[in-house]
Structure 1
């Protein structure tokens, strides 16, 4: 078992991560994302817009015989990923600093990709993923706006991904107010997922 997270389940509590002013995929959404990724022991995952590294950490713990490539361009986020990597003791997490649209082009292949933030490069990222993602590989995207959801959905169709699925999740967390508990709603998140078909059939 990992020294910081001694369970086999997904959805590590947010408080376990070192955080700053960097976006993070929250624990409930992260648990669903992990399910949609369908990771295997030796999966090779590319985490685009890795932020604090919460998805990268969970994936690295789950696929200990594989690798996780975390792509991030912001210096503060890079520092946080490094700190969380050390805190969780994961050695199969490799950090790439730079723009995802450029870095993905340098990768030969991978079988999982998570897009938590595209930095305006959604089309380039999905296009390159359609080329480098192995047959049967999975792509998972989180979106907070209608526009980005529509863009991602259209691109998945354009680049011939299969089994396209969308689900919108709204989480409400209990908040104590004196003797009462109120449910405080979080922003809805849409999760898109799809499978890469057999490239030889195209």
Structure 2
């Protein structure tokens, strides 16, 4: 008799032929495995694995199966090929094997972007983050949980702050030393580093060192790194709020300065998962601050000058957002094929159809921010404000500087700031 709680499972025929899933039932099961391998699986997970006609996973996971009647398929490269093969299994009992919690920086999270939740069932094992926090006595809600598995190590830099506690999935046994170099290079050399290997398994091991004195070797590929951040004298803690000092960026003078940058980011209003087009990006300061301001935000920096593109990449890596995409074509031709933006910043080059093309691409409800310093660009913004509404400002900043033996305020070039919400009216 079929299990009403698991309708894709039916009684086997006398020949023990695997059951077939119903088309509208959860035919795709993602099973998390702990370091003890199949011994760590629940009875439910074992039954689903036994009934699977196809099993996907990494070579390490598939090797655990031994003799099996199921077709075993290792992950392909590129991974998109595996998604196609998974989709071809629709309606038949299919299992994906993963490590720990598949929904925490795991393959389960990837699969949710390709398959609806009603066809998936996820059975997680305790995540390495959970096990590490338990071993260390660190409240998990107080930790920043990160990964460098398939991602640049530089992404960790965004989370560095005095007193921060980081838990980091490693890519392999070389990751801890790479993290130690990153920490030391950012002035966090005194930070405490704990490398936890094979958590939850018979070979579990925990060793401690400092970033600057990193001396661990023979590190297992399956490891998690815990970091208790300690800022050394050379550290320059960077807040995530907009308005970093100008000297936080390498630039050739073509950049939106601190005060105007903070104003622009506030008007662009970064939101979780949203995409920014930074047109005429210069040093990339707007893109970098946008990415630092919101979780899973995306940004595309459009900059035709090659030397500036190199500076953008350097700034993105230094400030912890190496995922910034840099496009080298000239706007508006550069817009071709890009994902639809939620916000657009134009720091210059309002002529030659740049604004019209960007405005057309901007999604309804998206935010447009533009700055102008020349009379010609100022005239364009005044006309756009008249036509589209929004808020138009003339911003002038004066800074105290030496005037002989005294001090006086020296004005910077006046900037016209305009922002508007598409469809938002006046």
TM range (shorter): 0.7 to 0.9
Instruction: Report the counterpart of residue 171 of structure 1 in structure 2.
Output: 397
Using the size of structure 2 for normalisation, the TM-score is 0.42
Which residues of 2 match residues 1-202 of structure 1 at below 5 A? Answer: 2-3=159-160, 6-20=238-252, 22-118=253-349, 120-121=351-352, 124-155=353-384, 161=388, 163-177=389-403, 179-197=405-423
Shift of 1:181: 2.1
Q: Give ranges in structure 2 of 5+ residues lacking alignment.
A: 1-157, 161-235
Paired with 2:323 and 2:333, the residues of 1 have a C-alpha distance of 22
Paired with 2:345 and 2:264, the residues of 1 have a C-alpha distance of 8
Per the alignment, in what secondary structure is the counterpart of residue 336 of structure 2?
A: helix
Per the alignment, in what secondary structure is the counterpart of residue 110 of structure 1?
A: coil
Shift of 1:8: 3.2
Shift of 1:180: 2.5
Larger helix proportion, structure 1 or 2?
A: 1
Paired with 1:5 and 1:73, the residues of 2 have a C-alpha distance of 31
Q: Please give the root-mean-square deviation of Cα atoms over the aligned residues, in Å.
A: 2.0
Q: Give ranges in structure 1 of 5+ residues lacking alignment.
A: none
Q: Which has the larger radius of gyration?
A: 2
Paired with 1:5 and 1:192, the residues of 2 have a C-alpha distance of 31
Shift of 1:45: 0.2
Verify the 8 A CA contact 2:279 2:346 in the aligned structure 1.
yes
Verify the 8 A CA contact 2:385 2:391 in the aligned structure 1.
no
Using the size of structure 1 for normalisation, the TM-score is 0.86
Larger strand proportion, structure 1 or 2?
A: 1
Shift of 1:107: 2.1
Shift of 1:91: 3.0
Paired with 2:237 and 2:333, the residues of 1 have a C-alpha distance of 33
The number of equivalent residue pairs is 192
